Amino acid sequence: MRTAIRFLRKGKMVELDQFEPTTTLLDYLRLEERAMGTKEGCGEGDCGACTIALGRLRNGRLVYEPVNSCILLLGQIDGCELVTVEDLAGPDGLHPVQQALVELHGSQCGFCTPGFVMSLFTLYHSRRPGLTRQDVTTWIAGNLCRCTGYRLIVDAALEACRKDLNDIFYLRAAETTARLEALHDTRDVFIGTNDKFFCAPESFQSLLEIYAEHPDATLVSGATDVGLWITKHLKELPKVIYLGRVNGLSTCYNDEKGIRLGAAASYALAESYLKTIDPDLENALTRIGSRQVRASGTIGGNIANGSPIGDMPPMLIALGAEIELQSIRGRRTLPLESFFIDYGKQEIAENEVLTSIHIPHLARQDHFRAYKITKRFDQDISAVMAAFCISLKDGRVQRARLAFGGMAGIPKRASTAEKALLGVSLDDPLSWQAALNAMETDFTPLSDMRASGTYRRDVARGLLKKALIEISENTSVNTRVQGQREQLAGGAHAC
């Protein structure tokens, strides 16, 4: 058992053995360290002003990822290198991304700038060959700027990030890697008392045991949702169990049965597996949250929080995914769609932990399409998320799984439309009508700030029609204003 967290900061190891379990990293920086460079813009991980970089070992390689420090718990940085805007300038002056932002007029009021600097720092270290404008804008879509209109920031990013790596972090990467390796251990971390603690178990057994002992504890993976309970709902969460260190819980692999994702795998980790399934899945992944959110948020969290508007569940349900739940009493698997019972109610017992997600491979006759409908293209919660898996035989629909988010209190399949689609010929658009009309009976969506019920229903119908057109014409060039499958097939977005 270890009773302190440890992380690297400015080349030194920091150990902290006393802090509130819900202390955010941003509050630690601004109120404890009094390092004022990192700003709070929104306190909910949506503006990126508080972006910092975490250095972590991924398959033995040092990787810098941007995260929103306002909704990250301090305890989550155990074993990481913490890099903030104050750390970038070296003995020779500003960091290349800072220098480029200055030279190309990338700041106006300057409040969002430290966050952009840190996002660009991680882009700089991502070593992406042939960096395009779109790569940059997608990378920084989680950083809001209200002054510049972004163009000059993107110019600066291209200027700095097309250069060869040459900063103090690159020069001392071997040393940092060694020190992070040294920080890695197999001890469970426990800080606090039995009534109030931050616990980061390393062994899976410890996780099950401590959760059995404290069924009232809050499980935290990326904290991209739980963080808001703290900063916005002002909830008291005395007992926090962090899943990010649990051995094996973030492991992903791809074998003949399909893809297995550990429940605590972040979007960033899972991305390389998921994007092999279909270009639309890859496309949707670049639009879920932001790069900061995807570096922290997990696929497991997106399921386990039971939200009716999470983007992963409809896609996973269309793909026929199963999940595995485990507690001290044993393990079980169930189809993902049976996990969602009703709004706010899931098929999960006390002490049970979601451990993994299993996605079967698509068959040759399966056509997958996913559409995310939002007011803003990037980093916006969906009004409607639609995912379809349509199997064809001789040009006719043999099987259809049509799953939607945002259309009901839970992620839900359009069962009437699925039936109406059976046997329909793709060459005969008139025969699609019954399935399109069935949307009316399948759903009675709510009106809220994201969209009216009428729009949701209209768009659900429009999306099914779009999918059928795309599958029959075998192109999405004439049916999408952006995010065409053809763009992605070339691997322009490979990460």
Partner 1 sequence: MPADILEKSEQPVVKTQAIGKTSKHDSAIKHVSGTATYIDDIAEPHGTLHVAPGYTKTAVCGRIISVNLEAVRAAPGVIAVLEAKDIPGTNDCSPSLGDDPVLTDDQIAFHGQLIFLVVAQTRQQARKAAILAQIEVAAEKPLITVQDALSASQTVLPDYEFRRGSPETVIKNAAIKVDFKSNLGGQEHFYLEGQTALAIRGEDDNMLIYSSTQHPSEVQHTVAKVLGLDEAAVTVEVRRMGGGFGGKESQANQWAALAALAAHVTGHPCKCRLDRDDDMILTGKRHDFEIQMQAGCDASGKVQGVKIDLNARCGHSADLSLGINDRAMFHADNSYFYPDVCISSKRLKTNTVSNTAFRGFGGPQGMFAAERLMDAISITLGKDPLDIRKANFYRSGANTTPYGQSVEEHTLLAKLVNQLEDTAGYRNRRKEIDTFNAKNSVLKKGIALTPVKFGISFTLTHLNQAGALVHLYRDGSVHLNHGGTEMGQGLYQKTAQIAATEMGVSLPKVKITATNTSKVPNTSPTAASSGTDLNGMAVATACCEIVGRLKTFAAKYFDVREEEIDLSNDQLLIAGNPRVSIRELAQLAYENRVHLSSAGFYKTPKITWDRENIKGRPFHYFAYGASCSEVIIDTLTGEMKVERVDILHDAGNSLNPALDIGQIEGGFVQGMGWLTTEELWFDEAGRLRTHAPSTYKIPTATDVPEIFNVSLYESSGNPEETIYRSKAVGEPPLMLPISVFCAITDAVASLRKGVVPELDAPATPEAILRAVKYIKQDRED
Find the helix packing angle between 453-473 and 433-442, rounded to 10°: 150
Q: Which residues 122-151 are close enough to bind partner 1 by CB under 8 A?
A: 133-134, 136-138, 140-151
Q: Which residues 145-204 are close enough to bind partner 1 by CB under 8 A?
A: 145-154
**415 vs 452, which CB is nearer to partner 1?**
452
Q: Which residues contact 103 (CB under 8 A, 6 or more apart)?
A: 156, 159
**351 vs 484, which CB is nearer to partner 1?**
484
Distance of closest approach, residue 169 Cβ to partner 1, in angstroms: 16
Of the listed pieces 276-284, 324-332, 339-347, 449-457, which binds partner 1 according to CB under 8 A? 449-457
Distance of closest approach, residue 65 Cβ to partner 1, in angstroms: 18
DSSP 116-166: HHHHHHHHHHH--TT--HHHHHHHTTT---SSS-SHHHHHHHHHHHTSPP-
Please report whether residue 492 would count as binding partner 1 according to CB under 8 A. no
Burial of 286 from C-beta contacts in 10 A (0-12 / 13-18 / 19+): buried
Distance CA 489, CA 311 (A): 21
Is the Cα dihedral 218, 325, 317, 365 positive or negative?
positive
Of the listed pieces 39-47, 60-68, 207-215, 237-245, which binds partner 1 according to CB under 8 A? 39-47
Q: Are 37 and 98 in contact (CB under 8 A)?
A: no
Q: Which residues 62-91 are close enough to bind partner 1 by CB under 8 A?
A: 84-86, 88-89
Distance CA 187, CA 185 (A): 6
Of the listed pieces 38-46, 273-281, 319-327, 350-358, which binds partner 1 according to CB under 8 A? 38-46
**Binding test (CB under 8 A) with partner 1, winner from 19, 28, 39, 211:** 39
Distance of closest approach, residue 288 Cβ to partner 1, in angstroms: 13
**81 vs 225, which CB is nearer to partner 1?**
225
Which pair of tokens denotes residue 368? 């997958």
Distance of closest approach, residue 399 Cβ to partner 1, in angstroms: 24
**202 vs 311, which CB is nearer to partner 1?**
311
User: Among 147, 144, 59, 70, which Cα is nearest to 108's?
Assistant: 147
Please report whether residue 213 would count as binding partner 1 according to CB under 8 A. no
Considering just the CA atoms, what is the radius of gyration of the chain in Å? 23
Distance of closest approach, residue 100 Cβ to partner 1, in angstroms: 9
Distance of closest approach, residue 89 Cβ to partner 1, in angstroms: 6
**204 vs 455, which CB is nearer to partner 1?**
455
Q: How many residues bind partner 1 (CB under 8 A)?
A: 89
Residue 140, amino acid: I
**274 vs 383, which CB is nearer to partner 1?**
383
**135 vs 188, which CB is nearer to partner 1?**
135
328-347 b/e with 16+ CB inside 10 Å = b?
A: eeeeeeeebbebbeeeeebb
Distance of closest approach, residue 378 Cβ to partner 1, in angstroms: 5
Long-range contacts of 466-474 (CB under 8 A, 24+ apart): 466/369, 466/371, 467/367, 467/369, 467/371, 467/386, 467/388, 467/390, 468/390, 468/426, 468/429, 468/432, 469/429, 470/369, 471/367, 471/369, 471/390, 471/392, 471/426, 472/426, 472/427, 472/429
Site string for partner 1, 237-266 (x = CB under 8 A): ------------------------------
Q: Where are the alpha helices (DSSP H) in 234-376?
A: 267-274, 279-285, 291-296, 299-304, 312-318, 336-339
Of the listed pieces 171-179, 181-189, 254-262, 457-465, which binds partner 1 according to CB under 8 A? 457-465
Which pair of tokens denotes residue 361? 């491979």
Q: Which residues 320-379 are close enough to bind partner 1 by CB under 8 A?
A: 371, 373-379
Q: Indicate the pairing of strand 5-9 with strand 81-83.
A: parallel
**Binding test (CB under 8 A) with partner 1, winner from 19, 21, 38, 421:** 38
Residue 327, number of CB atoms within 10 A of its CB: 18
Q: Which residues 462-491 are close enough to bind partner 1 by CB under 8 A?
A: 462-463, 465-466, 469, 478-482
**40 vs 324, which CB is nearer to partner 1?**
40
Please report whether residue 113 would count as binding partner 1 according to CB under 8 A. yes
Please report whether residue 450 would count as binding partner 1 according to CB under 8 A. yes
Of the listed pieces 9-17, 32-40, 319-327, 410-418, which binds partner 1 according to CB under 8 A? 32-40
Residue 187 sits at φ, ψ, to 5 deg, of -80, 145
| 78 Rama sector, left if φ>0, alpha if ψ -120 to 50, beta otherwise | beta
**37 vs 409, which CB is nearer to partner 1?**
37
Of the listed pieces 30-38, 159-167, 355-363, 405-413, which binds partner 1 according to CB under 8 A? 30-38
**48 vs 244, which CB is nearer to partner 1?**
48
Which pair of tokens denotes residue 293? 């959110």
Distance of closest approach, residue 311 Cβ to partner 1, in angstroms: 14
Residue 36, number of CB atoms within 10 A of its CB: 11
